[in-house]
Structures are given as structure tokens and as C-alpha cells.
Amino acid sequence: MNAYPLIRPRRLRMTPALRALVAESSIKKEKLIQPHFVVEGSGQTQEIATLPGICRQSTDTLVRQVEKDLALGIRNHLLFGLPESKDDHASGVCGEHSLIFRTLRELKKHFGEDVLLATDLCLCAYTDHGHCGLLSSGGEILNDETNEVLARAAVSYAEAGADLIAPSDMMDGRVLAIRNALDAAGLKNTPIMSYSVKYASAFYGPFRDAAHSAPASGDRKSHQMDIRNAREAVLEALQDAAEGADILMVKPALPYLDVIAELKHRVTQPLAAYQVSGEYASLVFAARAGAADLPAAALEALTAISRAGAEIILSYFTRQLHAERWI
């Protein structure tokens, strides 16, 4: 009788070719999205200390950056706007004079269908109080009134050339409000990539620094999800799907792999995950301290997100992954 087991899993690990042949999960570069922070002015490239390698850029500088990205094979981009002026009713979020509208027009003029442009949609960067919605006189976020503003902004962005509208505010019913507004404006083919499951996470710190979007007081726990809940994530995702969301997103990614995996079995829409600023920064700073091999750690994290079930990944590593040929 053979003294050794007939089944030896190590046989298929012996060479890189064998390992690649039987790999169960893979990171597909064409499924990655690169985030960008857009500021007013011209010739602007502002480094972000808490988000190394990522900059705030004016529209003209961003055009040159996207051209370089396209040469690397990066087609997918997510835009965040950082207006110069803010007020209590987020007046700068939409309209032909808004920063994102003008940036979309400029990018589409230069690149047309060669790039896919998604626009984050939230009021936090446009309100002087930094909250994700309009506030009542008592400081309560006005859900339905906020949805009206979001819907107008979505139409504005779609008219400017946005390929995807990505609402991140977590107001109840905002997907339906946006879908109805887009359809009424003759933009029924503009898809929605909803931040369906967005947790009130401690991993957003570098982003809030980058986008100048921290709330002036209080927190966002009345609308972003409680970190202790998973069943509620299914409720949020199914509601967005029923309201017309075309892609569903989980944010952050790595701390919520269980949620991604659960939704993979519960929804039929494409599933996205956002590897957020804190996830990115923690790996970058660990590598700078000599505590991690950055390419290996980044690829391991991205692979875990893919293995959990995310088909689309928004990541600040997108450019490095392409430029340095990590895969």
C-alpha cells in the first residue's frame, strides 16, 4: 500500500505557470477604477501628506494625468470635486458652472469614449458644515430634501458626459430619486453605481483630509452604516437594486470581506468594493517603515477583495499597479 497520500495539493504549486493555471481568483486591471481629487484653478498639483502618491489636481492638470493613465491602460476614473466656496445648501454641487460639470466636459472633449468617467455624488464637500445632506435648523439631516439636490446634480453630471453616477451619501431612497430624474431628463441609459453599503468607518481619515470633507461637528452615524451590522447591508443593497441601481458597492473593502461575500450570493447586479484611503495609507506607511513589502501587501489585499466576490475595485493603487507592472 502506498505510504504517501494520493492527493498532493503541492503538485499544483510547484511552478509559477501551474499556480497561475489553477488560481481561483485574479485581479483584472480593466476592472480597477482610479480615484481623482479635482480642485479649482489651473496648473494645480497638490500633494496629500496622508495619501502619498495621490494629488489634488486642477482640471487642466487632470487632463494631462488622465492622458498618462490612459497610456498605462487605465480607462476607469472616479472624480471627487473640491469647490473653492461652500454654503449650507451645497449650491456648488451642480450646474454648468460647477467644478465637476466643467471637468467632465473637458475630459470628454479630450478623450471621448476612450475613458469611463464616474462621478461621486454627495454633498459633504459642498456644504459649509461638511455633512452629507442639507440640515434642518435643529441640525438634523433632511433626507428627502437632500435627495432632490442629489437628483438635480446627477442630471447635471450626466448631461456633462458622466458615464456612471455614483451616489455615496447613504440617504434613504436616493437611488430612486436619481433614477427618476435621469429618466425624466431623457438620460435613461446613464447607469448608477450606488455606494449601497457604506459603513461609518474609521478608515476614511486620509480621504477627509484630501477632500476637505470632515464634518464641522458631530459624525455621520445617522446615515452611514453601523460597523456591527451585516444583515442590514443586505437590506441596503436589495433596496438600492429595487430602486434601479445598476452596480452595488461596499465601502470600505478589506474590513468587510464577509459582507462582500454575502452580497455576492444575494444580488445579481455587478458588485464593486472601494479599497478606501485608510486601507491604502496603512499599507503605504507600513512599507515606508520597513514593515511590509508594498507590492506584495497591496496585491494580497486586492486579491482578498476579489476573492470575496467584488468584480469591480476602486483603489488608489490602480496607477501603481499599472505603472509598476505588479501583475
Cell of 280: 491604502
Cell of 161: 458626459
Answer for the pair 59, 15: CB distance below 8 angstroms, yes or no: no
Choosing from 31, 86, 108, 198, which is the catalytic residue?
A: 198
Residue 264 annotated as catalytic: no
Residue 251 annotated as catalytic: yes
Choosing from 29, 109, 251, 264, which is the catalytic residue?
A: 251
Distance separating alpha carbons of residues 284 and 93, to the nearest angstrom: 32
Distance separating alpha carbons of residues 25 and 13, to the nearest angstrom: 15
Angle, CA 209 vertex, CA 206 and CA 210 arms, to 5°: 85
- What SS3 state is found at 185? coil
Answer for the pair 39, 80: CB distance below 8 angstroms, yes or no: no
- What SS3 state is found at 213? coil
List C-alpha distances in Å: 227 to 33, 223, 234, 274, 322.
25, 12, 14, 16, 32
Known catalytic residues are 198, 251
